[in-house]
C-alpha cells in the first residue's frame, strides 16, 4: 500500500482541522506535555484505577469512601512520553470486506500523524506469533515517512500470540501510551499481554477491529471453513442456530475483553472495518 493510500489528503485534512494534540489523546497526560508522576509538590491531574505496586500514599480515600473503588491520584510535570503503536500482523487480520488489515494500517498511520503534529514521538512494534520488526520512537516528517513505508510493506501472516507483548513490555521502554490494534481473536494470552503493558506503566488503548462478516456471517449451508492462521480446515453445516451460537460466543468474548480492559484501566473500543480512520481518531479524542 502506498503512503498516499495509508494517509490520503482527505484524512490529513480532517485531522488537521482540529489541530489535535497528544494532550487531548491522553486526557491531560501528554508526551512533550504533562505526564504522570506521583508527587505532592506537583499539580493534580486525574485519577486512574489502583494497580498493585502503586504508592498507597497516592490513593484517593475520599473517592473510596464515596464509591468503594480504589483510585490513584495522578500528578503532572513536564516530561515527554511517547506513543507506541502495537500492530497485530497475524493472518486473521487479512479478512473481511472491507478488510481489517487495511483499516488497521490506516488507523495506525492516522494516529501517528496526529501525534507527530503535536510534536510527540511515535514508535511502531509489529507482533504476530512473535515480536516482529520495530521502529523506535521518533518525531518529524521524515519519521512519519519511515513509518508509512514500513506499514505499506506489511503482509499479514502467521498466528496471533499476545504473550509476545510481555517481551516487549519487559524491554527498556519509557512509559507512554501503548495502542494495541488487533482483532483480539486469539485463544489465549490476551489478558497476560495487556496486563504486562499496564504493569510496565503504560497507558493502554485496545482497539479491536472486526469485519461485518465476522459480526454477521452471511453464509449458510454446507461449508468448508479454513483457519487462516493454521490452515486447518473442517466441514460443517451452517444454519440459523449455528450462526446464533457463533454470535453468542463472539459477543461473550468481546464482553470479557471489555471487562478485562475496564478492570485494568484500559480504553477499549470495538471498531468495524467499515469505519473511516479519521472518524475513529476524532471519536476517540472526543471521549477523552
Q: Which domain holds residue 258?
A: 3-24+80-286
Which of 59, 79, 99 terminates a domain? The answer is 79
Q: Are residues 139 and 237 in the same domain?
A: yes
Q: Are residues 170 and 56 in the same domain?
A: no
Q: Are residues 39 and 143 in the same domain?
A: no
- Whether the upstream peptide bond of residue 98 has omega within 30° of 0, thus cis, is yes
Q: How many domains does the chain have?
A: 2
C-alpha cell, 33: 506535555
Task: Give the model's pLDDT for residue 212.
Answer: 96
Q: Are residues 90 and 105 in the same domain?
A: yes
CA terminus-to-terminus distance, the chain: 31
Q: Are residues 135 and 240 in the same domain?
A: yes
Q: Are residues 136 and 274 in the same domain?
A: yes
Q: By C-alpha distance, which of 2, 22, 53, 239 is closest to 120?
A: 22
3-state secondary structure at position 251: helix
Q: What is the pLDDT along the chain (288 residues), one digit of tens a residue?
A: 888 999 999 999 999 876 555 555 554 443 344 444 433 334 555 677 887 767 778 888 988 898 888 988 776 544 467 999 999 999 999 999 999 999 999 999 999 999 998 778 999 999 999 999 999 999 998 999 999 999 999 999 999 999 999 999 999 788 999 999 999 998 889 999 999 999 999 999 999 999 999 998 876 666 666 666 676 777 767 778 888 888 999 999 999 999 999 999 999 999 999 999 999 999 987 755
**CATH code for the domain in which residue 262 is found:** 3.40.50.410
How far is residue 76's CA from residue 79's CA, in Å, rounded to a whole number? 9
Q: Are residues 57 and 163 in the same domain?
A: no
Q: Supply angle C-alpha 59, 62, 64, rounded to 5.
A: 70
Task: Give the model's pLDDT for residue 32.
Answer: 40
Amino acid at each position: 500500500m502506498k503512503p498516499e493510500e495509508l494517509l490520503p489528503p482527505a484524512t490529513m485534512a480532517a485531522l488537521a482541522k482540529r489541530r489535535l494534540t497528544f494532550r487531548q489523546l491522553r486526557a491531560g497526560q501528554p508526551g512533550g506535555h504533562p505526564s504522570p508522576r506521583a508527587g505532592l509538590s506537583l499539580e493534580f491531574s486525574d485519577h486512574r484505577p489502583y494497580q498493585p505496586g502503586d504508592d498507597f500514599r497516592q490513593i484517593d480515600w475520599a473517592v473510596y469512601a464515596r464509591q468503594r473503588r480504589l483510585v490513584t491520584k495522578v500528578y503532572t510535570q513536564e516530561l515527554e512520553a511517547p506513543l507506541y503503536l502495537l500492530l497485530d500482523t497475524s493472518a486473521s487480520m487479512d479478512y473481511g470486506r472491507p478488510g481489517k488489515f487495511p483499516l488497521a494500517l490506516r488507523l495506525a498511520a492516522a494516529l501517528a500523524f496526529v501525534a507527530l503534529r503535536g510534536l510527540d514521538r511515535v514508535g511502531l512494534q509489529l507482533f504476530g506469533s512473535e515480536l516482529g520488526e520495530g521502529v523506535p520512537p521518533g518525531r518529524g516528517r521524515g519519521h512519519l515517512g519511515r513509518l508509512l513505508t514500513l506499514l505499506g510493506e506489511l503482509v499479514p501472516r502467521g498466528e496471533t500470540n499476545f504473550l509476545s507483548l510481555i517481551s516487549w513490555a519487559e524491554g527498556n521502554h519509557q512509559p507512554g501510551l501503548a495502542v494495541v490494534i488487533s482483532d483480539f481473536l486469539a485463544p489465549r494470552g490476551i489478558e497476560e499481554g495487556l496486563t504486562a503493558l499496564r504493569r510496565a506503566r503504560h497507558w493502554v488503548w485496545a482497539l479491536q477491529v472486526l469485519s461485518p462478516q465476522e459480526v454477521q456471517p452471511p453464509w449458510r449451508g454446507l461449508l468448508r471453513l479454513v483457519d487462516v492462521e493454521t490452515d486447518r480446515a473442517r466441514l460443517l453445516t451452517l444454519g440459523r442456530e449455528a450462526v446464533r451460537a457463533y454470535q453468542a460466543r463472539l459477543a461473550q468474548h468481546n464482553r470479557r475483553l471489555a471487562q478485562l480492559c475496564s478492570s485494568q484501566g484500559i480504553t477499549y473500543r470495538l471498531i468495524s472495518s467499515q469505519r473511516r480512520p479519521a472518524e475513529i481518531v476524532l471519536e476517540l479524542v472526543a471521549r477523552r
